Amino acid sequence: VRGLSGGVGWAGRCLLDLLLPHRCLACGEIVGGGLGGGGTGLCPACWAKMGFLTRPWCACCGFPFSTATPEGTLCLRCAERRPPYRSARSVFRYNEESKGMILRFKHGDRTDAAPVFGRWMARAGAEILAEADLILPVPLHRWRLARRRYNQAALLAWEIGKVSHRRVAPDLLRRHRATAPQGSPGTGSRARNVKGAFTLKAGAEEMLFGRQVVLVDDVLASGSTLAECSRLLREGGATAVDVLTLAMVVRD
Ligand SMILES: [Zn+2]
Ligand SMILES: [Zn+2]
């Protein structure tokens, strides 16, 4: 069906949405509503388990607080040391449910999740997108790109760009080293791991100067990759960098 819907264009896809059942992005059960239109993409049971993030949260990194907190409060980590990005927002927690869904999107065959994820991210990041000039995905190293065939962050960035009517610049950042996967080493070694892994494309400063940039990735874990990219973009002339991810690893 995916191959077919890829070839039939928008009108055909809308027709297919009406005719064919869709499978829940998390558990694979058949759900109504379709993925392209207003459908949630999830069955009610998975929707309930997804751990969507809501206020109150850290004004900087979006860490959710469990008790009522005044607007503008920072979490302990951000209060101690502000990251190089201005703020970060995520749609939901990285938990068992969202992890499976993201892995299938990233390594499996559920790229049809991109429009749904894009809509969720545009909603979670509405405030930062309202001010944004450019949307940039965190790049993959070309070897990894060759193996996986697509960059999941770029798919998300395109969808967010469509919903928010913002320009997407997929190639301003370059990745020179394939770094170890998220979450393997501790924060310190992670930071060393990404140091120098990215550069700006020649002439990127022209696009970045005076601009507010939204950096897109699938998961905010230690934040070291996003911090390194943000630092580079600020050096390249961006006035502010905000981060938008699908999921956030919430440590208690
Ligand atoms: Zn489900
Ligand atoms: Zn924070």
Ligand nearest to the CA of 28: 1
CA 83 to ligand 2 center in whole angstroms = 9
Give the Cα separation of 114 and 95 in Å (integer). Answer: 19
Q: Which two tokens stand for residue 33?
A: 């509503």
pLDDT band at 12 (very low <50, low <70, confident <90, very high): low
Is the pLDDT at 189 greater than 80? The verdict is no
pLDDT for 110: 86
Give the Cα separation of 83 and 77 in Å (integer). Answer: 9
Ligand nearest to the CA of 41: 1
CA 232 to ligand 1 center in whole angstroms = 39
pLDDT for 75: 96
CA 128 to ligand 2 center in whole angstroms = 16
Dump pLDDT digits (tens) for 206-250. 999 999 999 999 999 999 999 999 999 999 999 999 999 999 999
pLDDT (average), residues 11-27: 69
pLDDT (average), residues 47-63: 95
pLDDT for 18: 55
pTM passes above 0.95: no
Residue 96 φ/ψ, nearest 5 degrees: -55, -45
Ligand nearest to the CA of 78: 2
Q: What percent of the chain has pLDDT over 90?
A: 65
Give the Cα separation of 249 and 31 in Å (integer). Answer: 28
